[in-house]
Amino acid sequence: MPCLLALIALIAPRFVVAVIWFTSNWFSGVFPSALWGILGFLFLPTALLWYTAVFHWWDGVWEPWRIVVLILAIATDVSPASGRRDRG
C-alpha cells in the first residue's frame, strides 16, 4: 500500500497533498505558518511531501541521501514535464 501511495504522489502530488491536508494532521507543526504549506502546494508539491516525510519519519534530520531525494523532488516539480503531468 505505501508503494501505491508513493506512485500516486508522483503522478498527482497536489491531489495527495489535498487528501492528506483534509484527512489528517500530517502538516500541523511542520511550518511556522500555513502560508508555507499553501506555497508548497502551489509550486513544489512533491518537495512538500518529501519535506514533511523527513520531518515526521526522521525527526527533521537531513542526511545526504535525504537531501539528494529533496533535490530530485524539486527537479520533478520544476521540470517541463510536470506541466503536462498536471493537465493530464
Asked if 55 and 19 touch (Cβ cutoff 8 Å), the reply is no
Give tens-digit pLDDT for 35-87: 999 999 999 999 999 999 999 999 999 999 999 999 999 999 998 875 555 55
Domains of the chain by residue range: 2-87
Q: Which residues contact 43 (CB under 8 A, 6 or more apart)?
A: 77
**Higher confidence at residue 2 or residue 85?**
2
Return the amino acid letter for 3.
Answer: C
- Are 13 and 45 in contact, with CB atoms under 8 Å apart? yes
CB 73 within 8 A of CB 1: no
Contact assessment for residue 16 and residue 49, using Cβ atoms and an 8 Å cutoff: yes
